[in-house]
Amino acid sequence: MATSKYTKHLIGLIAIMLFSLTMVAQRLVLPGQNQIYRFIEDPAFIAANERYNVTGILQASDSDIAQTSQYIAAQLAFFDNVVFGVDYSKHSYDVMRYSQLFLSSRVRLGLGDYYQYFNIGLSLGTDKLNEVDSSRENDVNTIYRVSGHYRNYNLTIGGFLNHIPVQNSLILAPPETLSVSQGYSVFASYDIALSDFLRVTPLARYNSYDDIDFFESVAIMNYKEKGELAISYKNDYSVNAAISAKFLERVKVSYSYEKAIGVQNFNDVHAIGISVDLAPEATELPEWLVNVRRNRIKIHNINYKDEEKLLETIANEEVEETVSDSLPQVEAVDPELIAYPKMSEEDPEDVVDGHLKPGYYVILGSFKNINNAEKAVAKLKSEGYYARYGKKDTDDDFHYVYVDRYTDRDIASKRTIAKQKEKGFEKVWLMRVK
């Protein structure tokens, strides 16, 4: 009988503890897709892809009481190292409405290489709170966000201060009001290239907002910049998964799902998003430049002992090669390079049946518009350089402007490296046509 009595007391005590726990449980109103769209909460990531962009996210809870968050962000990449953004978010609950409007800017401080830099972001704006049956009507305050990170090729380290709403548990009667929390996050991530098209990025982050502190581990998988999957685990807080897919080259659609775990107690959160690139076609990065940047990281991760090791690596690749200005340079031009023939008007045409014949081409640039390719060739000739252009195959959208062509891979590689030492040709690269 005593045992039964103590058992009842124990069950009652556990029930009281669980009930008290749910009463104090809170949820940070974080964007559920913040690992896919980093700029939603961190201005240092504004226009990271160097494009004009508009992104919208609608986030909703499974609760019987309407709880939604809406985010819309515009990114404007007017300049190479200085970009701007406008961010608006609105959070709707049963007894209140809360909104934020930010004007943001991001500055990049280069360290001599495209993948070595500091990014500094700043957002200034206002928040407005409207609470039903309260004096807090159109309660407006000035707010800000500050962030920064350092990138060294694959490694990124940074953090940000943030100002976000906090949702209290809705089982209270009447519901607790929405509060606002100042806090910070620090993070580190590392890109791992599993192939030319598949990248995995593990990310670790520590978040601290008022009495809510937790570590977060994230795994992000990216396939050809067209599909992305992110899974986030926050200790004693939640598990959050997000997925996105790109359509028509400019439109990205995403979905995320967050579920509370541990000491937290909030309803499941769903979010859908759409992101549209608005950059005019003239500002799009050409395929050759994308390849150059991708291979700069690839080359950086290889520990070449000397130039011969470099040339051997290039020779063994069975894919289209790109040689960028970041390759190790020979201290002096090899005298035997002088003996290698240069392309001239006397050489036979390289275009056969509408496309370039097999060989290795030293490429200066690529253009979708044939008129621009013709202008580039004419400009080079006016400066005393002979050049030609052609398509890689009949279905290719690009017209490649080249200054040399060789049938021998080793000679083509050496000539490309030597050509990069000439003023105005620092970014030439090598393309193989099979």
The whole-number pLDDT of residue 170 equals 44
Per 3-state DSSP, the chain is made up of helix, strand and coil in percentages (nearest 5) of 20, 45, 35
Share of the chain above pLDDT 90, in %: 31
The ranges assigned to domains in the chain are: 27-279, 285-433
pLDDT, position 10: 53
Stated as kind and residue range, the H or E segment containing 13 is helix 2-24
300-306 LR contacts (CB < 8 Å, sep 24+): 300/115, 300/153, 300/326, 301/153, 301/154, 301/193, 304/328
**Average pLDDT score, the chain:** 77
Phi–psi pair at 298, nearest 5 degrees: -60, -45
Tokens found for residue 69: 């968050």
The CATH classification number of 27-279 equals 2.40.160.40
**Which pLDDT band, with edges at 50, 70 and 90, does 61 fall under?**
confident
- Res. 196: pLDDT tops 50: yes
Mean pLDDT score, 286-314? 50
Average of per-residue pLDDT across 35-46: 91
Instruction: Say if residue 215's pLDDT is above 80.
Output: yes
> Which pLDDT band, with edges at 50, 70 and 90, does 319 fall under?
very low
The helix (H) or strand (E) run that includes residue 337 is none
**pLDDT tens digits along 216-225:** 999 999 998 8
**pLDDT greater at residue 201 or residue 312:** 201
Is 60 exceeded by the pLDDT of residue 289? no
Report how far residue 232's alpha carbon sits from residue 220's, in angstroms, rounded to the nearest whole number.
9
Residue 329 banded pLDDT, cuts 50, 70, 90: very low
- For residues 8 and 344, the model is more confident at 344
Residue 208 confidence (pLDDT) above 70: yes
In whole angstroms, how large is the CA radius of gyration of the chain?
Answer: 28
Residue 156, beta-bridge partner list: 151, 189
Q: Dihedral sign, CA of 372, 376, 377, 382?
A: positive
User: Which comes out higher in pLDDT, residue 153 or 332?
Assistant: 153
DSSP code of residue 31: -
Task: Let me know: does 53 contact 47? Beta carbons within 8 Å.
Answer: yes
Least confident interval from 27-36, 105-114, 279-288, 300-309: 300-309
Instruction: Give the pLDDT score at 232.
Output: 94
DSSP 272-318: EEEEEE---GGGSPPHHHHHHHHHHHHHHTS---SHHHHHHHHHH--
- pLDDT for the residue numbered 394: 80
Report domain 285-433's class.
Answer: alpha beta
pLDDT of residue 221: 95
Q: Please state the rounded mean pLDDT for residues 264-283.
A: 78
Q: Is the pLDDT of residue 331 over 60?
A: no
| The predicted structure's pLDDT at residue 178 | 56
Residue 172 has φ and ψ, to the nearest 5°, of: -70, 150
Q: What is the pLDDT of residue 389?
A: 93
- Using 50, 70 and 90 to split pLDDT, how confident is the model at 345? confident
pLDDT given at position 98: 84
Any idea which residue has 């809870």 for tokens? Answer: 61
User: What is the Cα–Cα distance from 277 to 273, expressed in whole angstroms?
Assistant: 14
Q: Which pLDDT value is given to residue 328?
A: 37
